């Protein structure tokens, strides 16, 4: 009898542990988040967490399509410059206080303030008049937005962290209005989120705890997944793709991703001011070898900024050694004595790309390069300065629109880390922002032609999203934006 009682107690404890594990999902999240302030966050590893913690007027459904968040309906005037939103009276902060229109006005004004230096501040430009946002409210559950120009993509943009509300009431720390609130943040280890019991759709949120783990080393992340310490990885190691297809094929998710990886060039640098050198560097990279022999994960070779499902009409220069060597001889760069530096963030996959590119430049042009890596937060700050030559860059679209890529290179863009300034390009982007759908294609092609000719960046490949997802995880739906809100995730049996 005594043995039976001990056995039953042991089984009970095991069941409790299993139940607790079923209520927790461990997600690999790459580098340490650069910020959890919605106004300041830049990297996807920050945005993923913020979209779990907060909810804007719009949010994402399980397929990453925009749907109402705090808003429950909206109306637009005939010329699409006045947008009225009604708010859900059941929307609550995690201290049970109702979310109001003033919370949105407060959050947007904080992000818009020049002193904040918000990296996505340009999204407010179309709402500005005399330096102020054109926002008003008739009551606590109504918000009106006035635009200077029509914007068919506004609803998609309102999902972004820059448009999240900030509480106006007195509150304790870590108050948020999303499906989860911040319970703990251990730097360079993990961010812990707990379910918000006052979230308006709390009954549909099945997972109590989300752990976002820092996983900068892809090989270590894979080992943790195999050991059961992670349920979802942020990525996979390139050199393990064949093994993963053979051994973890059910867990492996590889999906086209609306984004492009490119090398940034500092056009203020003495060597890289020379357009001939920039062309030579671009023309001497065999992107097919890079994606087929080095990366081997389904990436698509890129010779343009916008992913290939948004094709431009101009000719593709691609890989051409004869043209590359001619361009190099026309430049002032001297391979015998001059050197270049490639800067990248601390990542084994990024190192492989940098090594491959450096090897091609050495073999094809005789140019020697020095590789330099930095921890992500340091790298994010370095790329804003002139203390760089060539650096890893890229863009994952914030919303599904070619303009989201092309605006990066406008002279006033906060993400123009390249020192690129071109009057014709700026004018083309200005026209594109207000163009009708039928007139957009020619303007997109024109903008890409300028980028191709001026070469402020060197496109290398279009991304694919790559994850390992436990077979017991439900609600993780592959999509081109690679957005997976934790509110939809749960383990089998929950």
Q: What is the CATH number of domain 24-29+175-254+466-491?
A: 3.40.190.10
What CATH number does the domain located at 258-464 have? Answer: 3.10.105.10
Compute how many other C-beta atoms are within 10 angstroms of the C-beta atom of residue 152. 10
Q: What is the pLDDT of residue 377?
A: 87
pLDDT at site 310? 43
Q: What is the dihedral of CA 98, 101, 103, 107, to 10 degrees?
A: 150
DSSP, collapsed to helix, strand or coil, labels residue 27 as strand
Q: Specify the pTM.
A: 0.79
Residue located via tokens 């501040």: 121
CATH code given to domain 54-163: 3.90.76.10
User: What are the mean pLDDT values of the chain's consecutive 10-residue runs (494 residues total)?
Assistant: 46 41 89 95 94 98 96 94 98 98 98 95 94 97 95 91 96 91 97 98 97 95 98 92 95 94 97 97 96 88 81 56 96 97 92 96 98 93 95 92 93 93 95 82 94 96 95 97 97 77
Distance of CA 228 to the CA centre of its chain: 26
**pLDDT value of residue 494:** 52
Q: Are strands 82-87 and 368-374 parallel, antiparallel or unpaired?
A: unpaired
Residue 173 is predicted with a pLDDT of 77
CA gap 391, 379 in Å, rounded: 9
The predicted pLDDT at position 149 comes to 87
Residue 35: count other Cβ atoms within 10 Å of its Cβ. 18
Q: Answer whether 26's CB lies under 8 Å from 211's CB.
A: yes
Domain ranges in the chain are 24-29+175-254+466-491, 54-163, 258-464
């Amino acid at each position: 009898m005594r043995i039976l009682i001990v056995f039953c107690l042991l089984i009970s404890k095991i069941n409790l542990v299993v139940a607790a594990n079923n209520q927790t999902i461990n997600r690999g999240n790459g580098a340490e988040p650069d910020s959890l302030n919605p106004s300041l966050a830049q990297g996807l590893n920050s945005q993923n967490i913020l979209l779990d913690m907060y909810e804007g007027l719009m949010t994402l459904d399980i397929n990453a399509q925009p749907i109402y968040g705090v808003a429950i309906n909206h109306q637009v005037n005939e010329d699409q410059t006045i947008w009225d939103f009604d708010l859900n009276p059941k929307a609550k902060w995690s201290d049970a206080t109702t979310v109001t229109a003033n919370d949105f006005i407060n959050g947007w004004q904080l992000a818009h303030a020049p002193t904040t230096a918000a990296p996505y501040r340009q999204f407010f430009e179309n709402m500005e008049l005399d330096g102020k946002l054109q926002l008003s409210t008739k009551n606590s559950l109504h918000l009106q937005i006035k635009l200077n120009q029509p914007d068919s993509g506004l609803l998609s943009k309102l999902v972004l962290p820059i448009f999240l509300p900030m509480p106006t009431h007195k509150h304790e720390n870590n108050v948020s209005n999303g499906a989860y609130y911040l319970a703990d943040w251990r730097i360079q280890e993990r961010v812990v989120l707990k379910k918000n019991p006052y979230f308006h759709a709390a009954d549909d949120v099945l997972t109590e705890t989300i752990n976002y783990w820092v996983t900068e080393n892809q090989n270590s992340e894979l080992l943790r997944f195999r050991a059961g310490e992670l349920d979802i990885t942020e990525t996979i190691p390139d050199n393990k793709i064949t093994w993963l297809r053979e051994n973890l094929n059910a867990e492996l998710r590889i999906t086209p991703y609306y984004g492009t990886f490119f090398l940034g060039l500092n056009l203020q640098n003495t060597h890289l001011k020379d357009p001939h050198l920039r062309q030579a560097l671009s023309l001497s990279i065999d992107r097919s070898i890079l994606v087929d022999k080095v990366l081997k994960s389904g990436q698509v070779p890129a010779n343009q900024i916008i992913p290939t499902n948004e094709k431009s009409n101009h000719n593709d220069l691609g890989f051409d050694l004869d043209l590359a060597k001619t361009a190099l001889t026309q430049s002032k760069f001297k391979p015998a004595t001059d050197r270049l530096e490639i800067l990248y963030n601390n990542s084994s996959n990024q190192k492989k790309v940098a090594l491959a590119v450096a090897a091609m430049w050495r073999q094809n042009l005789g140019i020697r390069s020095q590789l330099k890596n930095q921890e992500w937060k340091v790298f994010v700050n370095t790329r804003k300065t002139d203390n760089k030559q060539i650096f890893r860059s890229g863009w994952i679209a914030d919303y599904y629109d070619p303009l989201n890529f092309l605006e990066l290179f406008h002279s006033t863009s906060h993400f123009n880390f390249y020192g690129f300034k071109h009057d014709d390009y700026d004018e083309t982007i200005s026209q594109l922002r207000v163009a009708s759908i039928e007139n957009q294609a020619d303007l997109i092609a024109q903008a890409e032609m300028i980028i191709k000719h001026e070469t402020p960046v060197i496109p290398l490949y279009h991304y694919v999203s790559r994850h390992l997802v436990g077979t017991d995880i439900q609600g993780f739906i592959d999509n081109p934006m690679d957005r997976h809100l934790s509110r939809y995730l749960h383990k089998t049996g929950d």
